[in-house]
């Protein structure tokens, strides 16, 4: 059975925590708090209740962790504790709330109109009622997946690991949710789910001091900033490397030219290619930030591939016209271009698949 690096990290933290390592247990709570809170929220449809349940769950985990026989069983054990705790909580605290559909749409639009100030304007009472309505409109089997998907920065593989299901199942359940709710509406709900997510748990001393003390402090984390940081670390870096490679290739090719006119033509072609590469990279970055699907990133990559192919062709034409081309150089240049395009396409495909973007066009 394949074990992901995330699962291996959790197993290591469990083993250390069972040996009394308080820092390891704090890290364990940090890595699993979203899953616990999402399951509790899916069952109770109540943010405050989910927070209370999360506190009770981690208190029980700390008290009973030594009884866990295998670290590999930690996640199933944690999920069962969470569900049992939520059921007990619901028996003791029966709550209900609703919101009219027209009022819901108006408030939802207002709350997500400005993503930069969302964390400052989103009141807990509004979060409570909006999320309650979202959960009521989702298929039962999709609720936990949708909540945790947006809590985990839209990483379907992490969601699959935390919930004990396959990545394919996660994407299917997400698609069912998208089929029931408009994609744009679901994306806006995702922003609200992320803004209401737990960012960290309380320090371990508060867990061990008293069996009745609260043990988790929930906060808001900036989903937009985290997403943008991830994108810029990938798309931006890839574009920067492409620009550097283009500049080096242009300089080396120009150095081989004996005629000044040919050299200037090569440099001009290289400059136009750099502008096109920068534009395609910007389009890809905006596609990842502003859309939920695969169309914009793929379109940007296709334009990039076309740009580099045209540049390669023009360079070869210039060298050929001035009798400075050779068969070996042409073969090496074409081979490098093809291998680079294939590698880039594979990387793009893996990134889109891992983020679940193939389930949506935009």
Pair (280, 186) in one structural domain: no
Pair (133, 186) in one structural domain: yes
Pair (46, 89) in one structural domain: yes
Q: What's the pLDDT score for residue 158?
A: 82
Pair (29, 152) in one structural domain: yes
Q: What's the pLDDT score for residue 151?
A: 65
Q: What's the pLDDT score for residue 202?
A: 41
DSSP state of 235: I
Pair (116, 69) in one structural domain: yes
Pair (235, 189) in one structural domain: no
Q: What's the pLDDT score for residue 331?
A: 63
How far apart CA 55 and CA 42 sit, in angstroms, is: 16
Pair (106, 236) in one structural domain: no
How far apart CA 175 and CA 61 sit, in angstroms, is: 33
Q: What's the pLDDT score for residue 200?
A: 43
pTM over 0.75: no
Which residue range is the domain that position 322 belongs to? 224-359
Q: How many structural domains does the chain have? A: 2
Pair (155, 248) in one structural domain: no
- Tell me the torsion sign for CA atoms 65, 33, 229, 161: positive
Pair (166, 257) in one structural domain: no
Q: What's the pLDDT score for residue 226?
A: 43
Q: What's the pLDDT score for residue 237?
A: 63
The string of DSSP codes covering 142-207 is HHHHHHHHHHTTT-HHHHHHHHTS-HHHHHHHHHHHHHHS-HHHHHHHHHHHHHTS------HHHH
Pair (322, 355) in one structural domain: yes
Last residue of a domain, one of 189, 221, 253: 221
Pair (116, 256) in one structural domain: no
Is the Cβ–Cβ distance between 160 and 167 less than 8 Å? yes
How far apart CA 266 and CA 303 sit, in angstroms, is: 21
Mean pLDDT per 10-residue section of the chain, whose length is 362 residues: 74 90 89 86 80 90 89 90 89 56 52 48 51 63 74 73 84 76 50 46 43 36 44 58 74 73 80 83 78 81 81 72 58 64 72 68 72
**Helix H segments across the chain?**
5-18, 22-44, 47-64, 74-92, 101-112, 118-121, 124-137, 140-151, 156-163, 167-180, 183-195, 204-209, 223-231, 237-256, 260-290, 295-321, 327-354
How far apart CA 38 and CA 213 sit, in angstroms, is: 22
For residue 142 the two structure tokens come to 């999709």
Pair (250, 299) in one structural domain: yes
Last residue of a domain, one of 164, 194, 221: 221
Last residue of a domain, one of 196, 221, 246: 221
């Amino acid at each position: 059975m394949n074990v992901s690096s995330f699962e291996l990290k959790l197993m290591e933290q469990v083993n250390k925590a069972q040996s009394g390592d308080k820092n390891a247990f704090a890290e364990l709570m940090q890595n699993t708090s979203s899953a616990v809170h999402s399951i509790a929220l899916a069952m109770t449809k109540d943010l405050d209740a989910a927070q209370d349940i999360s506190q009770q769950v981690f208190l029980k985990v700390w008290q009973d962790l030594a009884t866990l026989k295998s670290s590999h069983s930690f996640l199933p054990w944690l999920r069962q504790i969470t569900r049992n705790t939520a059921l007990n909580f619901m028996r003791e605290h029966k709550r209900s709330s609703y919101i009219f559909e027209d009022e819901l749409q108006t408030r939802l639009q207002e709350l997500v109109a400005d993503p930069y100030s969302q964390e400052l304007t989103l009141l807990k009472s509004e979060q409570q009622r909006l999320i309650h309505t979202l959960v009521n409109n989702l298929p039962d089997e999709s609720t936990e997946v949708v909540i945790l998907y947006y809590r985990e920065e839209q990483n379907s593989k992490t969601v699959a690991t935390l919930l004990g299901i396959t990545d394919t199942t996660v994407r299917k359940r997400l698609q069912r949710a998208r089929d029931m709710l408009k994609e744009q509406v679901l994306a806006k709900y995702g922003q609200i789910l992320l803004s209401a997510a737990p960012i960290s748990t309380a320090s371990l001393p508060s867990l061990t001091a008293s069996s009745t003390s609260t043990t988790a402090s929930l906060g808001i984390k900036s989903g937009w900033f985290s997403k943008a940081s991830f994108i810029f670390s990938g798309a931006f870096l890839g574009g920067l490397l492409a620009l550097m490679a283009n500049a080096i290739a242009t300089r080396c090719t120009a150095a081989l030219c004996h005629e000044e006119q040919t050299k200037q033509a090569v440099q001009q072609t290289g400059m136009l290619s750099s502008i096109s590469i920068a534009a395609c990279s910007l389009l890809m970055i905006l596609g990842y930030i502003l859309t939920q699907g695969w169309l914009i990133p793929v379109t940007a990559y296709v334009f990039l591939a076309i740009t580099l192919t045209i540049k390669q062709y023009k360079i070869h034409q210039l060298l050929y016209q001035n009798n400075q081309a050779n068969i070996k150089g042409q073969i090496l240049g074409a081979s490098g271009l093809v291998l680079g395009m294939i590698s880039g396409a594979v990387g793009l495909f893996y990134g889109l698949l891992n983020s679940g973007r193939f389930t949506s066009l935009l």
